[in-house]
Every structure is written in C-alpha cells, then in structure tokens.
Structure 1
Amino acid sequence: MSDDPAPGFVRVRLDLSYDGAEFSGWAKQRSRRTVQGELESAIGTVLRLGEPVELTVAGRTDAGVHARGQVAHVDLPRDVWAAESDKLLRRLAGRLPWDVRVWRVAAAPAGFNARFSAVWRRYAYRVGDHPGGVDPLLRGHVLWHDRPVDVDAMNEAAELLLGEHDFAAYCKKREGATTIRTLLDLRWERSAQGVAVATVRADAFCHNMVRALVGAMILVGDGHKPAGFPGEVLAGKVRHSAVNVVRPHGLTLEEVGYPADDQLAARSREARNLRTLPGCP
C-alpha cells in the first residue's frame, strides 16, 4: 500500500493544538462540533477549494481531551499549494476559532502518514490533590482528587505496566481492533504548582486506555489499592469494576514521534499489521 498522494497533489503536514473542552472529540460528526470538522472547513474556505478536504490525524482524541502537539496531514492540489503555501498559516489563524490553532504547515517527506508513520504518542494527565481544590486558571486541564496521592506509590505501580501487553482490561473494545500495545514510559512527578503529572508514552493507544490506566493508579496513590493492583488488572484482560475511566479534561496529547524520513514508509506499512503477542495465534 502506497502512502504517496495522488498524482497532482502534495501531502501537507500540519502541527496543531486545541482546547478540547467544547469539542466532541477529533473525528468529524454530522451534528456535533469537532476539531476535524473545524479544520477541514477552514482549509476549504481559505484555499477556496471546490472539493472537500479530508485530514488524517496521528491520534483521534476523545471528547474533552486537549492536544498541544497533535499532527495531521492533508493532500492538496499541487497548484493550490504552490500559490498559497506561504499564506496558509496566517489565513488559518484568521479563520479558525479560538480553541484550535495550527502552528506549522509544510510539505511532508515521501512516505509520510500522520497516523501510520508515527512511532509513539506522548500524553500527560494532570491530577490536583490540594485540599482546597484546583487553581481556577488550571481547572480546565487538571482533575481534582479529594484525597492526597502518593507519587512514589503510583510510580511503583507503573513499573509493572511497561512493555508490550494486551491492554484489553484498560481499553474500550472495538470490533476488529487489537488491544496489544507497547507502553514505553509511564511515570509520575510533581509540577512546580504541586500537580501530580503522569507522562504516558506508547507506540499507540486504544480507546480510553490512558484515562483507565490513570484511574487504576489513583487507587494506588490514595491508598485504596496496593501497588500491584494495576498489574493484576492488566493480567486479567477484562475491565475491572473498581477502575474508573477518569474525566477527559485532565488529558493532553503532548507530542507525536516519527522516525527518520527514509523510514517513514516502512513504519507506515508495519503499523497497519494486526499485532499478536508471542505464543498467541
């Protein structure tokens, strides 16, 4: 399968961010406001395109989830790109709503696919446990937990989740989709404001995975469960009634990683393969 644009078109990479509070997620919906819908409308308008455009994104964030380092691509007619590329960024700034911004537009290297060429995605989840609540200026991006959480205990629990596993216990199952993922980093630290911040990096994430992982670790952090509990849930491969999927507003997609340009196409082909764990059919 080729990741090259059709003849006469140029693949354009967009780096963007958005506040997810007023969006029903990334993916376009007929009757709801979405990030994809706003961006595609803005691009079509400022470039005066007769045909609708379609964006491909690195990570399809859920309703209420934010992004600081999202990446998408769109294929544009070569003549339009040649005429408008140097003006597109400023025109999008004038057309887009306040809660979504495009920071960079550039012709993508050969073989680039915003979704399938990515080798990892990095999210942050922010939890405030101050007894007085969350700083009002941070309230849209920090979950308040009404009991103190022990960052060291949560880091102990996190160590047991790293590596390639079937994360079915932490995912909302989708027909025909694998729940096998490689969790590359999972660690907690306190920010300068005293907020407990989880950094979660994996090759990919399934639906609700980060929010469910955080929900399990908070149970450890506030003393409700021992450090081994999230690992036990993982081994069970089914959703656990004690684990809540925490609210979306504490979650932000921070960064997407890609390989060197000469490895983009190979990575894209590899990512399309349905994975199984060793010893599994």
Structure 2
Amino acid sequence: MVRIRLDVAYDGREFSGWARQKEGQRTVQGEIEDALRVVLRRDETPELTVAGRTDAGVHARGQVAHVDLPDEVWAEHRAHLLRRLAGRLPMDVRVLRLSEAPPHFDARFSAVWRRYSYRVTDHPGGADPLLRGHVLWHNWPLDVDAMNEAARGLLGEHDFAAYCKKREGATTIRTLQRLEWVRREDGILEATVQADAFCHNMVRSLVGAMLFVGDGHRPPEWPAKVLAARVRDSAVHVVRPHGLTLEQVAYPPDEELAARNRASRNKRTLPPLPGCC
C-alpha cells in the first residue's frame, strides 16, 4: 500500500460538514471518497483520514487528508488522477494536490497546528452580497483594539471546556498559539486563530466572546475569566459557521513525524483548579 496526501479546498455552505453521515446528508468526505471510487474503478470506497473535521457550513482552502491505495492502483492512475477528480467532483469541492506521503505521515495525528480565519463586517449596511457566504454581519460597531486585548488573555495551553462542546472521552485541553484581529482595507475584520488542535465549536465560541467585547457588551478581561472557570457559559454565543475558513495545516519535518504521532495520541491533563479536589 502507498499513502497519498490530498490537499483540499471547499465551500462549506451546501455541506453537512466534513464527515460522512447517514444517508441523504451531503458531506465533503462523501463526495471525495465517492469520486475516488469511481475514477479508480474500485468496488470498495477508499477511506479518507482528515486533519480537521470541519462542521456544517465551514469552508476550507487548506484542508489535508490521506488515503491508502494499493501500489498498483496508484501506479496506474497517478498521472491523470488529479484531472479526473476535477472532472468528477462538484464545483464546490476541489482536490488541489496529490502526493505520496512520507513514512509515518498521518493527516490528523502528524499535524503540529491548524490555522483558521474568521471574517466579520460591522458595516451598517450589512455584508457585501458577493461575500455574504463567507463574512458574518455584526450589527454593532466593533473595537479591534479591545478584541485584541481580550485575545491575549486566551493564549497558551489551557482547558478550553468553557469554549467547547464536550465529547465523551475527549480532552478539551489545547494550546492556542495565535489569536489576533485586523481590520482589512475593505473594512472587514479578520481573526487569525491558530492552535495545535481545536475541540468542537472552539473557534466559533472564541469569536463569539470577542465580538461581545468588541461591541462593548463585555470588558476585555471577560473572555479570560470565562476560560478560567472551565465550564460552559450561556453568555458565550457560538457564531454562525459561514465566516469560518480552515486556511492551513502544518506538519513537522519527515524525520519527526513518528514522534509527533505518538505525542498527539497522548491525552493531556492540567492541574485541578485551586481549592478543587
């Protein structure tokens, strides 16, 4: 078998997320796997492993997945596979590159960080109609400096339980490496959010908290206080998915892949809260 890396982009508006679901739900994984089965002329559907399972409505321009294929199948189709996938896939999902992965590469466990962008406009007239599927309209003026002040209190390794939808048996400890806002020349506010990994709804919850700071409903120190409590706060809103895009997934040098895989599988813990347990 040979492991193939796929670099993928998609417009998430018409998808029920990345992961295959029950019959009738359109997903990115389902579209790509079905296209691979057809163009490779396989009886069984090849199974993809992905770097980040994006939610319904979330976009990607830097998603990464891998698939394992028999050597002879890859040798037969490699020269024309990318173009044939382009002809088979719907227009809202593209495989941009195909390449043989190095030993120990795993799209999910080898990743050292994922970087997302979230885009918001506070223009009083609303979002540009041509960008409405990728930019959230916030109907209050936003203070970028206040949002960046709030963001600094969230950086580092923490238990992000206050900003995640809990999943049975999964940790919510993450290392948030970068969180910053800029106002672009066109007036759109763009957040860059980078972490070693993200738990469910984490980016959209963080953005929701910072929008409350930006429009003056909460002080800049509030998001960090919510984080420190390690419990869901009903005041933290999960913003809509269409403003979110997975921009890039990074991997270590080839010789460090095996070690990274082992480290990623370790379940992390933090010390208990003061006065607890």
Deviation larger for 178-187 or 236-245: 236-245
Q: Which residue of 1 aligns with 2:74?
A: 81
For the Cα contact (< 8 Å) 2:19–2:27, is it kept in 1? Answer: yes
Per-residue deviation, 1:193 = 1.4
Q: Which residue of 1 aligns with 2:11?
A: 19
Which whole-Å CA distance do the structure 2 matches of 1:69 and 1:192 have between them? 24
Which structure 2 segments of 5+ residues have no match? Answer: none
Per-residue deviation, 1:190 = 1.0
Residue 196 of structure 2 corresponds to residue 196 of structure 1:
no
Q: Which residue of 1 aligns with 2:212?
A: 219
Out of 239, 244, 248, the residue aligned to residue 232 of structure 2 is: 239
Out of 248, 265, 279, the residue aligned to residue 241 of structure 2 is: 248
Q: Which residue of 2 aligns with 1:4?
A: none
What SS class does the counterpart of residue 226 from structure 2 fall into? helix
For the Cα contact (< 8 Å) 2:9–2:63, is it kept in 1? Answer: yes
Equivalent runs, 1:119-268 vs 2, <5 Å? 119-268=112-261
Per-residue deviation, 1:50 = 1.9
Deviations 1:71-92 (A, max 9, x none): 0000011001011111000000
Superposition TM-score, scaled by structure 2 size? 0.97
Residue 20 of structure 2 corresponds to residue 28 of structure 1:
yes
Which whole-Å CA distance do the structure 1 matches of 2:229 and 2:21 have between them? 35
Deviations 1:59-112 (A, max 9, x none): 000000000100000001100101111100000000000100011001000000
Which whole-Å CA distance do the structure 2 matches of 1:218 and 1:111 have between them? 40
Equivalent runs, 1:61-80 vs 2, <5 Å? 61-80=54-73
Which whole-Å CA distance do the structure 1 matches of 2:43 and 2:191 have between them? 44
Q: Which residue of 2 aligns with 1:52?
A: 45
RMSD: 1.1
Per-residue deviation, 1:278 = 4.6
What SS class does the counterpart of residue 86 from structure 1 fall into? coil
For the Cα contact (< 8 Å) 2:36–2:45, is it kept in 1? Answer: no
For the Cα contact (< 8 Å) 2:14–2:57, is it kept in 1? Answer: yes
Per-residue deviation, 1:29 = 0.9
Which whole-Å CA distance do the structure 2 matches of 1:81 and 1:245 have between them? 42
Which structure 1 segments of 5+ residues have no match? Answer: 1-8
Per-residue deviation, 1:30 = 2.1
Match for 2:8: what amino acid?
L
Which whole-Å CA distance do the structure 2 matches of 1:192 and 1:17 have between them? 25
Which whole-Å CA distance do the structure 1 matches of 2:136 and 2:54 have between them? 17
Q: Which residue of 2 aligns with 1:109?
A: 102
For the Cα contact (< 8 Å) 2:15–2:28, is it kept in 1? Answer: yes
Identity %, equivalent residues: 72
Per-residue deviation, 1:279 = 6.3
Superposition TM-score, scaled by structure 1 size? 0.96
